[in-house]
Chains A and B, each alone.
Chain A
């Protein structure tokens, strides 16, 4: 599962040089979260042709923002396809797809991101702690970073790392979906280091169906290495809260992907509070099929009273 250190293609960076070592850890951290892969999608001119005044982390941050949004969306699409597969590319890539529409078509990824980013009042601090603690915990488990992700030079890696720190530490602007997506991607690389390579920038989305289940197993099971890794990087009272939060998230991400996929959210017009189409989940479940997929105020469903009894006393 893990690549021995001396087989790492980055072995030249493993010299006993603190700066180089930190660069290695940063590159690995960025790779595991999916941010490194996402960053390589930026135009070379952006990455390598920046003017001197643009080399600060803040400006890189602006450039990264849409890329990080895409990374999150990619990750949650991988999750939506896992819980409710369909014919979409995410389902096909995981090796389990179905002819009928699934969670991606039902907009389950957008549903989760919207809820997390705008309505879930969890202090961002807690999830940031998870991502950073995971980064620390995983740094002793070197990863073979594929060639495509090695072309970014160390100074840029440092800037990217700094930019991500800024993103993660800014409570006012951090969309909660991002650290959760980064965490899922970290779990993905722990489950299968090969997930760094695939059709998507998100390692989680690159996993097979069975490996996605394995990634959730890491989140859920009491004895998971993950909890120990994270706990080692934390002090009380954060330790217990973070461990508990992971178990909670392990469930909630699956449950609310399912809820979103089978709800009307994807075709709900919030302004008029009406539907713009038939929800995917209604067709999948044959719900309201007999009314033309229209909620009704009543059904001819009264079957009388058991044993004819309409009242009991005493």
Chain B
């Protein structure tokens, strides 16, 4: 008996399609290669190595059995690829930031700055068309305006000191700064008002505290406030928002049907057949990572949502067609950089929401503050394409309004810079980077594992387009200026190599069949009934905004297209109101289902 839909991957995008179609009554199977941490409060800790060690942590790309090695990807350059397996995917360690994409990256944009964007790789539809889908996701997660901690007050002082205006809308139309719009339940009750001590644990537990408790552990995975039902955890990773809704769709949606979730199921093959003259997806084979068993199921529609790196790998390992050579190409990563200020006063860098403040510079990208605990902070200060500061520059070592040449901070200088973590302020440079064929996923010629040849991710950081490189330099300068204006006594630029963490566009949709894999409905051009519904479907790097919201809005639109095209249904966005994932009906459903 064939499923209606099989979704491969339960990260940021797959659960959106699964939940939306389950709410329409379809029979959906949701596969996830990694584990399902269904009780994070007891399964996780706030400790950095336990959580974030990319080889051993519970938030790693690897099997659920942590005594086994991680899964390998080849990265043949100085870089770091930081993605997760597990239900929730990379949203487990994301900061929940949900800015909308910049209007200039969509078809039909005619603003005065139209030439400032990656005009050759625009979305094949308009910004206005996507707005109802943004709104649908913003109400479902939900997305809220972030409160401030000390580090945000510091960031805003710097942004205002630069003379930037405030943006009090959800649209990015001019150089400006603002609190993040993020998928974090804002604090109420005691949350944010008290520091936990041995004697007040209950005061910071649900329902006395609701939403974000300002614990400072966004990157370690959120389970705040303690005792809250799974759908009321503060940070809206899909494991606490879309997945619980998908698993209980029969309870909260009229005519809905619960999704079947299979964690520890690594998809290894998309099967195809023919329908008339066309190739169509027919089934999926996966490997149970615990038992090694190979299992196949048929489906009327298959949705790939395994991420920007694994989708191309699965495509290649399945022997699917790639006539224009664009499968895996066009990888964008916002070509991050990192600028750090040392302050003579407390910034609260290790406390509160990971990032609640941002600047947007349409045509260039953006800046946001980032707070980190010590091990990740140390990682961030030793990650560079410019050698070791004071010793060698690896052919780079850019200088500017920061102190000295960019480069790794090592030895006594590292200890000195880290001597008080709460006197630092990190600014992440988020570059509006161009889609380029040379940055891509291929199969590794040397390495294969139990799921076939592994992915090899190639980034050519020094040979990126002139626009990408210029954008990054301009933003790094603005980051340094912001930190100076905020009162930093020392500013250091890292000149990061690719930190492949905001990932986009390896299976991109586009207007032209010469340089895209998907049509404007996110359906594969050469295999019908096969859709892509995660960041890899994005047409470009969005102009710099963090990608999850746009990816989820696009996945919602894709779910509608699937329902219309293959199941004879009607669209619902615009015609109905979404049910919020924190609505009482969902809480009741989750509680009744024992989640």
Asked whether, in the complex, the Cβ of A298 is within 8 Å of the Cβ of B48, the reply is no
Asked whether, in the complex, the Cβ of B375 is within 8 Å of the Cβ of A281, the reply is yes
Interface residues of B in 197-245 (CB under 8 A from A): 197, 201, 204-205, 209, 213-217, 224-226
Chain A, residue nearest B156 (CB):
A306
- In the complex, what distance in Å separates the CA atom of A176 from the CA atom of B324? 39
**Quick one: given A84-B415, A85-B412, A244-B76, are A300 and B193 in contact (CB under 8 Å)?**
yes
Q: For the complex, is B46 an interface residue (Cβ under 8 Å from A)?
A: yes
Interface residues of B in 340-394 (CB under 8 A from A): 348, 350-352, 373-379, 381-384, 387-388, 391-392, 394
- In the complex, what distance in Å separates the CA atom of A216 from the CA atom of B144? 46
Chain A, residue nearest B69 (CB):
A121
Asked whether, in the complex, the Cβ of B149 is within 8 Å of the Cβ of A259, the reply is no
Asked whether, in the complex, the Cβ of B166 is within 8 Å of the Cβ of A307, the reply is yes
Stretch from A56-64, A122-130, A143-151 contacting the other chain: A122-130
Residues of A within 8 A of B168 (CB): 307, 309, 312
Task: Say which size band chain A's interface belongs to.
Answer: 35 or more
Q: For the complex, is A4 an interface residue (Cβ under 8 Å from B)?
A: no
Residues of B within 8 A of A98 (CB): 412, 415
Query: Quick one: CB contact mask for A290-314 with B, threshold 8 Å, 1 for yes?
Result: 1100011111111111110111111
Asked whether, in the complex, the Cβ of B78 is within 8 Å of the Cβ of A237, the reply is no
Residues of A within 8 A of B47 (CB): 263-264, 268, 275, 295
B56 partner, pick from A115, A244, A254, beta carbons under 8 A: A115
**Quick one: given A243-B76, A284-B418, A314-B171, are A121 and B70 in contact (CB under 8 Å)?**
yes
Q: For the complex, is B196 an interface residue (Cβ under 8 Å from A)?
A: yes
Stretch from A12-20, A32-40, A44-52, A207-215 contacting the other chain: A207-215
**Quick one: given A83-B411, A287-B373, A305-B145, are A298 and B224 in contact (CB under 8 Å)?**
yes
Residues of A within 8 A of B276 (CB): none
A268 partner, pick from B49, B69, B444, beta carbons under 8 A: B49
Q: For the complex, is B75 an interface residue (Cβ under 8 Å from A)?
A: yes
Within the complex, the shortest CB–CB distance from B458 to chain A, in Å, comes to 8
Q: Which secondary structure dominates chain B's binding surface?
A: loop
B225 partner, pick from A287, A296, A297, A299, beta carbons under 8 A: A297
Residues of A within 8 A of B153 (CB): 303
Q: For the complex, is B109 an interface residue (Cβ under 8 Å from A)?
A: no
List residues of B whose CB falls within 8 A of some A CB: 45-50, 53, 55-56, 69-72, 74-80, 144-145, 147-150, 152-153, 156, 166, 168-171, 178-179, 181, 186-187, 190-197, 201, 204-205, 209, 213-217, 224-226, 348, 350-352, 373-379, 381-384, 387-388, 391-392, 394-395, 408, 410-412, 414-415, 418-422, 444-447, 449, 497
11 A-B contacts, Cβ less than 8 Å apart? A96-B411, A98-B412, A126-B447, A214-B392, A221-B394, A262-B375, A264-B48, A282-B374, A298-B225, A299-B352, A311-B145
Asked whether, in the complex, the Cβ of A262 is within 8 Å of the Cβ of B446, the reply is no
Q: For the complex, is A271 an interface residue (Cβ under 8 Å from B)?
A: no
Residues of A within 8 A of B394 (CB): 217, 220-222
Q: A248-B78, A259-B53, A298-B196 are in contact. List 11 more A-B contacts (CB 8 A).
A: A96-B412, A121-B70, A213-B391, A213-B392, A238-B446, A268-B47, A286-B422, A287-B350, A298-B213, A301-B214, A303-B147
Q: For the complex, is A66 an interface residue (Cβ under 8 Å from B)?
A: no
- In the complex, what distance in Å separates the CA atom of A259 from the CA atom of B50? 12
Asked whether, in the complex, the Cβ of B55 is within 8 Å of the Cβ of A314, the reply is no
